[in-house]
Structure 1
Amino acid sequence: MPSPWSRMLLASAASVVLLGTTTQAAAAAPDAKGVSATVHTAGRVQDAGDVLRYSWPGVYFEGRVRGTAVGVVLDDPAADYDVQVDGATVATLVAPGSTTHWIRGLRDGAHTVRLVKRNDTPWSTSSFGGFVAAPGGAVLARPAARSRQIEFIGDSLTAGYGNLSSSRDCTDEQVKRTTNADVSYGALTARRLHADYQVNAYSGQGMVRNYNGGSPEVNYRTFYDRALLNVPGDVWQNPGTWRPQLVVVHLGTNDFSTPITPGEPWTDESLAAAYRGAYAGFLEKLRTRHGPGTTLLAVGAGSFAGHVEQVVRERVAAGDRRVRFWRLDDTGLDLAGCHWHYSARDHRLLADRLTAHLADLPIRW
């Protein structure tokens, strides 16, 4: 999709607001057993004991605290976050840096708290140091994981790029501030199905060709295995708890949305063939990783839908019963987000359509 922000993201591949909350520079450390002992997350994180590190958009952390205040320990110069207490958003943190952000004035009692990373900042590593309680309060046992798990794989359309914007014309700064993966079609669909989820989306990246042919030495598949996107060779270590029953793949817009430029090694035919070959290999990788019981849903739209459908058809013919094709219905979408991306309204419509489609699939929940 055309955007200066996508170009910034491709190049990277080679303050507090709302509701009268306050910020404080330091707080008591979370439980000595480590942050992961007190919070639930389904995202790809690197566990360093006292902090959890991560890069993908939409990563969320859930905890429980007793008392009249809760602190959120962060070290992040680039990403934005929403803080939710008992289901309501009480603060948005804009590139908070190294801080403990306090939410005060809560009723005295037990509260659920959720922190979610809104935007995609693949050039930067984010760190979360846990939730802390004010004096007299306590951090309680972490919430239970959900039995359903869904992984969403994609580009800026899946990341929620500029979906809260009031205009299609956006500066880089506006894209950062108006991107919210927590209201993307993936996050919305997962919450409707009461599922934990990952949004493993990277703006500007394609299956074999990135937006406008940028950074040809890499593509989405270069980064897929990582927890920390800006660390070459990094590999996410699955703690054994991530076993998605459904994986949704929506990649191809960047491969085909812009004309092949002089100097690129493609013709229309060779690009299509390379895309189909890489897509087939990627589905095989997912099948090997997750086993025969996971449903793989390959999304096709626009000019690349036929290629995706062909790959799925061939895989089904070879005996894979749990790979399916979904032709994304873009009827009625306003594309009013930054640079003609999905708006928040579009994401709600797509979540409606995807949820309805999933109801007809034999997913082994």
Structure 2
Amino acid sequence: MKLLFPILLLTGSYFLSACNNTQSLMSSTHTIAASDPHIQVMGRTHINDDASLTFGYPGVSLSTIVAGSRLTAEMQSSNGNSWIDVIIDNHPPTSIKLDAQQQTVELFHFPNSGEHRVEIIHRSENWHGQVTLKQLTLTGTQFLPAPVLPQRKILVLGDSVTCGEAIDRVAGEDKNTRWWNARESYGMLTAKALDAQVQLVCWGGRGLIRSWNGKTDDANLPDFYQFTLGDTGQAPQWDHHRYQPDLIISAIGTNDFSPGIPDRATYINTYTRFVRTLLDNHPQATIVLTEGAILNGDKKAALVSYIGETRQQLHSNRVFYASSSHHPGDNSDAHPTKDQHAAMARELTPQLRQIMDW
């Protein structure tokens, strides 16, 4: 009986020590660079010397799975005008505006540790700023294997409609970068419906041969298709071997036709050369040309005719046409609304299923 108390005291000390060790394990921190393989990346990114990632095109998505109670990200936007969506465990997204200076973004913080899936989606356009993700820091147990992307791959080329401009418009509010929402764009919705990963390579106001204001010295589609970040023609240029799409959708022409119907031969010859570049760079890809949602009347008819002649000049069984209905936006903005983007995806998806036999 005299030995019972010391034994109980020792046993109690052991359990207290074990509990403290467990709490210490659960509250430990783990930091990984943005280019770490535990983070799955969809979209064009540039890997910097410090293993951080920089991106400019909308829709760039980064996802990870963790076991822990808190996760933070070190991020910044070069212009301080970029927005991201953060989605935790498929719950509704939280939209966050990034500062021009590096900031700590708290992605989640729960009272208890658990397994969570996290997605960061770039809402904004390239000219809103370049976004850099430096690292993720986890309070908890570990980073788990990264989510697996779908096997099918789509590349969507276009202008502000493809970028998701003004999807989240607010009536009576001055237009601002919060209105862009690539996640709800027709391109990303179509890819989701087709169980495919997707890259959006788009630039608001730009066209095939000229911008919305008639300028021909801007970077238009044949130029910015080659860009990694989408802001200038300077390095880094995109390495097309990094992403070989099964399907390429080209939805360009609205801004070319904004000042008036462009010269037929100039437009068709440029489009033909560009599509040949796509065919050469992506030898396994099917290419679908479409007129987009904004043009109507004579301009729409002219663009559809130009697309038809482009296909005739190419003589390729890998180049197709998909029609688009007119979606004129609303009184707040001429860009398609969120509901109209959803309708565009519903119209486009069955055409692509038939073309691709998906």
Give the Å deviation of 1:219: 2.1
* Whole-Å separation in 1 of the counterparts to 2:273 and 2:350: 28
Q: Does 1:348 align with 2:355?
A: no
Give the Å deviation of 1:139: 1.8
* Whole-Å separation in 1 of the counterparts to 2:250 and 2:152: 18
Q: In the alignment, which residue of structure 2 is the partner of 1:194?
A: 195
Q: Deviations over 1:262-318 (max 9, x none)?
A: xxxxxx56x332111111111001100110x31100002542121112211332xx2
Correspondence list, 1:224-239, <5 A: 224-238=225-239
* Whole-Å separation in 1 of the counterparts to 2:234 and 2:331: 33
For residue 101 of structure 1, the aligned residue among 89, 105, 119 is: 105
Q: In the alignment, which residue of structure 2 is the partner of 1:137?
A: 141
CA contact (8 A) 2:158 2:203 kept: yes
Q: Does 1:300 align with 2:291?
A: yes
Correspondence list, 1:1-365, <5 A: 30-31=31-32, 35-48=35-48, 49-76=50-77, 77-97=80-100, 98-102=102-106, 103-105=108-110, 108-122=113-127, 124-134=129-139, 136-167=140-171, 171=174, 174-214=175-215, 216-238=217-239, 240-259=241-260, 271-291=263-283, 293-301=284-292, 302=296, 303=299, 304-315=303-314, 318=315, 320-330=316-326, 333=327, 335-336=329-330, 339-362=333-356
* One-letter amino acid matched to 1:105: F
* Whole-Å separation in 2 of the counterparts to 1:345 and 1:45: 29
* Whole-Å separation in 1 of the counterparts to 2:116 and 2:245: 28
Give the 3 Å change call, closer, same or farther, for CA 217–192 of structure 1 in structure 2. closer
| Equivalent position SS for 1:355 | helix
CA contact (8 A) 1:35 1:52 kept: yes
Give the Å deviation of 1:216: 3.2
* Whole-Å separation in 2 of the counterparts to 1:149 and 1:282: 20
Q: Deviations over 1:61-120 (max 9, x none)?
A: 111111122212212122100000111234211134411211112753211110001010
* One-letter amino acid matched to 1:347: H
* Whole-Å separation in 1 of the counterparts to 2:244 and 2:328: 35
* Whole-Å separation in 2 of the counterparts to 1:272 and 1:338: 33
CA contact (8 A) 1:300 1:309 kept: no
* Whole-Å separation in 1 of the counterparts to 2:142 and 2:92: 21
Give the Å deviation of 1:339: 2.9
**TM-score normalised to the size of structure 2?**
0.82
Higher relative contact order (CA 8 A, sep 6+): 1
Q: In the alignment, which residue of structure 2 is the partner of 1:22?
A: none
CA contact (8 A) 1:170 1:339 kept: no
**TM-score normalised to the size of structure 1?**
0.80
CA contact (8 A) 1:175 1:338 kept: no
Give the 3 Å change call, closer, same or farther, for CA 106–238 of structure 1 in structure 2. farther
CA contact (8 A) 1:337 1:344 kept: no
CA contact (8 A) 1:299 1:327 kept: yes
* Whole-Å separation in 2 of the counterparts to 1:58 and 1:240: 20
| Equivalent position SS for 1:122 | helix
CA contact (8 A) 1:42 1:198 kept: yes
Structure 1 or 2, whichever has the larger Rg, is: 2
| Equivalent position SS for 1:274 | helix
Which structure 2 residue ranges, 5 or more long, are not aligned?
1-27
| Equivalent position SS for 1:190 | helix
Alignment length, in residue pairs? Answer: 318
Give the 3 Å change call, closer, same or farther, for CA 334–275 of structure 1 in structure 2. closer
CA contact (8 A) 2:167 2:337 kept: yes
Q: Deviations over 1:216-261 (max 9, x none)?
A: 34323222211123343324443845121000000100000224xx
* One-letter amino acid matched to 1:91: T
CA contact (8 A) 1:164 1:179 kept: yes
Which structure 1 residue ranges, 5 or more long, are not aligned?
1-26, 260-267
Give the Å deviation of 1:203: 0.0
Give the Å deviation of 1:191: 1.1
Give the Å deviation of 1:338: 5.1
Q: Percent identity?
A: 23
* Whole-Å separation in 1 of the counterparts to 2:153 and 2:144: 24
